[in-house]
Amino acid sequence: MKKWLLLVVTLVVVAIGYWYMVGRPTVVNLTIYFGDENAEFLEPEVRSVSVPPGESLLVAAINELIKGPIEPNHAPTIPSGTRLLGIKVKDGIAWVDFSTEIKTNHWGGSAGELLTTFSLVNTLTEFPEVKAVQFLVAGEIYDSIWGHGITNEPISRQPDLIGPNFR
């Protein structure tokens, strides 16, 4: 009887320990890019983020971009109200689907569009499995989401848009 009780107690302790370790969020450092104060370049912010079990680091990075910058000299690049609808990576391409607010709430202009596009692309290409990004809005590919740049094919990283002090 005592052996069975000891075995049950041991199994319960092991199960609780396993649940505790698996169910805990992981804290990671993510590099995300925002516009500089002059809307000329992208500048990185490194954030320590608690990622829940099962959540993709790519999702966490985009959600941090959506939250906006912390640094006072950085400008947001994602329009307010924008939600991430989904993301998947296939053959090095991150297919990123956003709610319509990424298009309808965008402030416009070619400089703003460039910073929005490449804050997302440069952030996601920080991850080795992502070589380029294909944008979708509510599941659809648009020739040009914001009216200037082409968004109907995958877009690769642009390191030249990163501020000279951060290259």
State the residue range of the domain holding 67.
25-166
pLDDT, tens digit, 9 for 90 and up, residues 63-96:
999 999 999 999 999 999 999 999 999 999 999 9
Show the low-confidence residues of the chain (pLDDT under 70): 1, 4-22
In a domain, 31, yes or no: yes
Please report the pLDDT score of residue 12 as a whole number: 54
In a domain, 160, yes or no: yes
Q: What is the pTM of this model?
A: 0.86
- State the total domains in the chain: 1
In a domain, 135, yes or no: yes
In a domain, 116, yes or no: yes
In a domain, 6, yes or no: no
Quick one: residue 147, left, alpha or beta (phi over 0 = left, psi -120 to 50 = alpha)? left
In a domain, 117, yes or no: yes
Please report the pLDDT score of residue 19 as a whole number: 57
Those residues with Cβ within 8 angstroms of residue 43's Cβ, 6 or more apart along the chain or in another chain = 33, 34, 35, 36, 71, 73, 74, 162, 163, 165, 166
